[in-house]
Structure 1
Amino acid sequence: MARAAEADDSGRPGYARLDPQARARDHMAAACQLTCWHAGRLVMAGVQIHTRLPRMLSMVGRGLVPEQLAIDIACRLAQVPDGIVSDVEDAVMARVGHDLDGGDRPSRSAVDAMIDRAVERLDPGAAQDAVDAAAESRTVRFRPGRGGMASMWATLPIGDAEMLRRRIETDAAAAAADGVPRPMDQLRADALSALAVYSPAGPAEVVDGIELGQVQVGADLPRPTVGNAAAAGGQAIRISVIAAAARGLPDRVEFVTGAYTSFDWLCQELLEGDDARVRFEIIDPAPGALDAPERALRYVISPALAERIRLRDGTCRHPGCSVDARDCDIDHVIAFDRASPELGGPTLEWNLVCLCRKHHREKTFGTNSYRPGPLGELIITTDTGHQHRTRPKGPLARAREGIQEQVDIILADRLFSPDGYLTNPPGTDRHDRPA
């Protein structure tokens, strides 16, 4: 009776209904010889673009967005609530269109970050719901590979992933310091594998001739907090606060080393840790705040300025490259002239960018020309005359954009009345002007 009561307009009971998108997916998978996952994304993107995303539909129709990028954005926007999807679409597509116009195609992770920031700004409650829902999708998977190897994928809460990363990096660095003659990638893999030789207290277990250690979780081992992980590595957790209060915005808290979910979460982890140290750093977002005339003609970049460039850029600045800034070189866009420093590119913020080693070599030994912009823009002109432009996407760059957006809002409020008219059109007298 309950199932019969769920019957739709066609008279079918609930258990007999078929999802139209699922049916379309299955037909496309069979007709086009696609996997169900690929076909499902195509169907979802088509439905989203034609029913919920008019701005994207227009841009796709004019050929302004590559097909795969449009599919990625549409599938990601499918998770955005109806009440804010229009505003989120406007913000994301404006930024994507701006990047594409400059020859910089955003990566899938960059698109996810854009959408997450827009949702958080427009509906903080929905953003928190998305975080809670994502935590339910945590998983670890293994897949046999070739040559006696296997691959492992893990989707973890960012706090747990950070603790695991710190543990692996600490063990790998210790092995390297002991003189183990292996590359760091292999040492990290060995450190991860070594975690398997510990087991809860009980009878010793022997696996492949290896006697697993007996460890009482909660007694022999401290609680796995970020504080304990940082203390074990002998490092302070560095928290950067981007000063914005003077410009009408709350200060932004950014974490230079590692990644965390929220400031409150970090505080709780530190309070429960045994011996953790925290170092706060105030960062002035003004361009060139750390530039010094006495260092402009020196080739070596100071550690503070290098950290600032990484915080500004976020990733390698070559179009399409997503290598993290902390794994990149800091390069002079206009080459530094060692023989005559006053004639070469100065060591100043506007002339420095992050480039991964591969693209650093491409810049040094290739035939492209590179030109910097005042706020960290990088313009690359190929030998065929094509021009590509990238902009920094790190937390410092985002803070600058937020400050500028606030300034623009204040300016618009002064220029326009609530009904949309200019408050002081050209050619009119101001009645509030002092005599």
Structure 2
Amino acid sequence: MTMTRPGSTGQLRTVPDPVDELDPDAVCDAARHATKAQNLAGATRLESAFRLVEAFRRTDEAEKTAARLAFARLEPAERARNELSAAMCLTSWHAARLVFAGVQIHTRLRLLRDSVSHGLFPEQLAVDTACRLAEVPDRIVRSVESEVVRRLGRALDGGSRPSRTALDAIVDAAVTKHDPGSREDAVAAAYEQRSVRFRPGANGMTTMWANLPSADAEKLRRRIDSAAQAALDALHPRTRDQLRADALCALGDPTTNDVCDPTGDEPPGSPWATDSPVRISVIDGRAQGLPNQVEFVRGAYASFDWLCEQLLAGGDSKVRFEVVDPAPGALDSPDAALKYVISASLAERIHLRDGTCRHPGCSVDAHDCDIDHILAFDQLNPALGGPTAEWNLLCLCRKHHREKTFGRNAYRPGPLGELIIITGSGHEYRTLPGGSLARARDQILEHQWREHVAHLIAEDNHVTNPPGADRQYRRSHSYGAPPSHEDVGGDPRSA
């Protein structure tokens, strides 16, 4: 058993597997070599991202893209991000950070580039460091970079990889040291980035991230901990973590006015009432013998329990049910195909089918995307252009919509929402829709295939084709094994 290691020239050489030798020192040595090779591969990826941006920039200069109107120009970094998200199977967010860090390292951060190119930095730490140093003003970036790279290198050399929190502390300390006045500007800029995000998960749970000013976060923490501690002192059977989560949820209880109206002048519940109807799409699977699939169109984090609470709480809660036919093109018509404007019902159907932006690696929710014609609609002669039909429509976020409109990629649709993207370099990427309508269709196709196989193969494993035809064989055959001429009754040519 053998393994490979990078030699002194950087090329891989074959050596005996240290596991066979039971030599702990050799195992650790092999792990260090593998880590060094991984770091060097990360350096290559960062440099490739930078080179791709430069290639797009030179192409734009040769084609005088700058002469276009602003809305028709694509930034080379954005084009590189879109290309790499598909080529490297990355999310758009990770591809954007890779491109941004690659450009920073090879144009602005010489010391970091030298360390990365020698395999001293893990790729993710290099990306995080470059993105943080990008926020440092040019007048002090050299001094700050020198101190940050030195401290990070010292930690890595000692066998300790700094976390993102530790990295932030190192950069903040260096910036404060070399430009004390920049701290106030950093605080003001960070305040503008405050946000709260939600991501629905499995089993009816949702994860929440919050980026809050420290003073407000501390008030919230004290309030949650105080309520949880009070319940804990009362010998409540739930754990502290469960009690803290319940205390946070209580802040949004429509029967209280803790958050929505500190003065108590406003009637409880009014700020929490639903301001628009809750639309529920039911994908009809009865024709195929499948259960209906329910999709909440309004309220991305909605559930059946949440819906019941909304209805029982009163207020202005309203519910509208819509039955969706899963058959492809169920809403298409010859008249609608010749109109550029997409009807609301067809648009909602595309949202349910796609789920997210259809560019590889992009997770922007379909309801936050544009709906675009894959084959361009001909405004002068609609009969010659791409029709307004389900198979010719897709969801694209605004960034990837601009990429499609003004970039060099070619797009080819499929009957069930499949999309083939052919990049300017000639690479093809095939994406499939992932929304609830697409998932329901997958279940239907799987159910139909099982029914087909059930009719095709008898209980004794006899195979007939077409299903239901009279048996022509003298004895049974296993599924997938073609009969021989001796097994076929009559003339073998008529079998």
Superposition TM-score, scaled by structure 2 size? 0.44
